[in-house]
Copies of this chain bind each other. A is one copy, B any other.
Amino acid sequence: MFARLFSQNVLFRMAVHAALWALVLLLAGVLLSIFPFITWQEFTESLRDPQVTYSINFSLLCVGVSTAVSVLLSIPAGYVLSRYRIPLASVVDTIVDLPIVLPQLIAGIALLMFFQTPPGVWIETNIMEFAYSRPGVVLAIFFPTISLAVRSMKAGFDSVDPRYEQVARTLGCTEWQAFRKVALPLARNSLIAGAVLNWAYALGVFGSVVMFSGATRMKTDVIPVAIFLNMTTGRIDLGLTLTIVLLVIAVVSLALFKRLGGKATLA
- Taking each of A31, A73, A210, which has the highest tally of chain B beta carbons within 10 Å of its own beta carbon? A31
8 Å CB contacts to B: which residues of A24-63?
24, 27-31, 33-34, 36-37
Task: Report, as a range, how many residues of chain A touch the other chain.
Answer: 35 or more
8 Å CB contacts to B: which residues of A1-23?
5, 8-9, 11-13, 15-20, 22-23
> A95 touching B266 by the CB < 8 A rule?
no
8 Å CB contacts to B: which residues of A196-232?
197, 200-201, 203-207, 210-211, 224, 227-228, 231
Secondary structure call for the A interface: helix
Q: How distant is the Cα of A116 from the Cα of B36 in the complex, in angstroms?
A: 10
Kindly list chain B residues whose C-beta atoms are within 8 Å of the C-beta of A239: 109
List the 9 closest A-B pairs by CB distance, nearest first: A103-B204, A19-B76, A16-B76, A33-B114, A12-B176, A20-B77, A263-B267, A265-B265, A264-B266
Provide 23 A-B residue pairs closer than 8 Å at the C-beta atoms, listed in order of the A residue: A12-B174, A13-B175, A16-B80, A17-B86, A19-B76, A20-B80, A20-B92, A23-B96, A28-B95, A30-B107, A30-B114, A33-B113, A33-B116, A33-B117, A34-B113, A97-B254, A101-B197, A103-B203, A103-B250, A105-B227, A105-B228, A155-B265, A258-B267
Binding site for B on A (CB under 8 A): 5, 8-9, 11-13, 15-20, 22-24, 27-31, 33-34, 36-37, 73-77, 79-81, 84, 86, 90, 92-99, 101-107, 109-111, 113-114, 116-117, 120, 143, 146, 150, 152, 155, 174-176, 179, 197, 200-201, 203-207, 210-211, 224, 227-228, 231, 239-240, 243, 246-247, 250-251, 253-255, 258, 262-267
